[in-house]
Amino acid sequence: MKQLKVVLALLCLTSFVRGQDSTSVLSHEIGFNTVRILSQIAQINTNNVNQLPYDVFYNLYYKDKVGLRLGAGILTSYTEDGINKQEFPVTTTSNHVNLRIGVSYNYASYKWVTLNGFVDYIYAGSKMESASSTTTQVFPDPIVTAYNKTSTTIRGAGFQIGTGVKFNINKRIALYAELPFVFIREKIKVDNIYKETGVEKDVTTRTDSRRFGSTFILPATIYFVLRF
């Protein structure tokens, strides 16, 4: 993930140095989620702020009016707690992927402010796993180690519609925020495995469910945008 960000940054800087071709009918924008970047650099906790799940986006505009927009976000984490000194430490793993593709229309522009409307198809995929073990002994019985693992997989698709505002610092640099209304339908699968020493057969369970949701995401995500 770090290598991908470095490559994208180099491409952006190269385009920035070359500047814009004023005769071209096509223009490009690449935006980076500044809130997430600053939270990683300064170790700021943004868990209480509902952020857009896209780390980077790319827009291709025709005559700076109608555009194709793409967005992607990948977030992974792993934690391990070995304080309990069990045979298998408590571990938690999570992986999240969010993608969007849609169209954008710049419907108003005044000096250094541009307003746009957009419609996107969105995809969201998540997988969270947690595992732990416990060791017990009831004298004179032998030591018993129990291992439990829970895996939750969520796959969702839908669409979003909304509006955004772009503050143009100059011709090549801007700040952007948007207010989307999101509709998404998700499938949820929960698998649980329970193992115990001395017992040959594992206990496995599975639960499947579906849900549909809609929500507004406030414009708390600020993107740093490079235009070329």
- Which 3-state string (H, E, C) describes the chain? CHHHHHHHHHHHHHHHHHCCCCCCCEEEEEEEEHHHHHHHHHCCCCCCCCCCCCCEEEEEEECCCEEEEEEEEEEEEEEEECCCCCCCCEEEEEEEEEEEEEEEEEEEEECCEEEEEEEEEEEEEEEEEEEEEEEECCCCCCCEEEEEEEEEEEEEEEEEEEEEEEEECCCCEEEEEEEEEEEEEEEEEEEEEEEECCCCCCEEEEEEEEEEEEEECCCCCCEEEEEC
Any domain includes 228: no
Pairing mode, if any, of strands 173-196 and 66-81? unpaired
Residue 177 lies in a domain: yes
Q: What is the pLDDT of residue 137?
A: 76
User: Looking at the domain assignment, is residue 136 inside a domain?
Assistant: yes
- Parent domain of 9: 2-223
Q: Please say if the pLDDT value at position 66 is more than 80.
A: yes
Give a yes or no: residue 179 inside a domain: yes
pLDDT computed for residue 13 by the predictor: 42
Copy the structure tokens of residue 177.
């925020």
Note whether residue 73 is domain-resident: yes
pLDDT on residue 42: 64
For residue 63, pLDDT beyond 50: yes
Report whether 195 contacts 147 (CB < 8 A).
yes
How far are the Cα atoms of 25, 26, 121, 190, 197 from residue 22, in angstroms, in the given order?
Answer: 8, 10, 31, 54, 72
Q: Per-residue pLDDT for 20 more than 60?
A: no
pTM over 0.85: no
Local confidence band at 90 (pLDDT 50, 70, 90 cut-offs) = confident
> What residue type is assigned to position 125 of the chain?
G
What are the pLDDT digits (tens) for 139-151?
A: 777 888 888 999 9
Q: Say which residue, 163 or 132, is predicted with more confidence.
A: 163
Q: 57: closest CA among 159, 158, 156, 176?
A: 176
Residue 159 within a domain: yes
| pLDDT for position 140 | 75
Q: In total, how many domains does the chain have?
A: 1
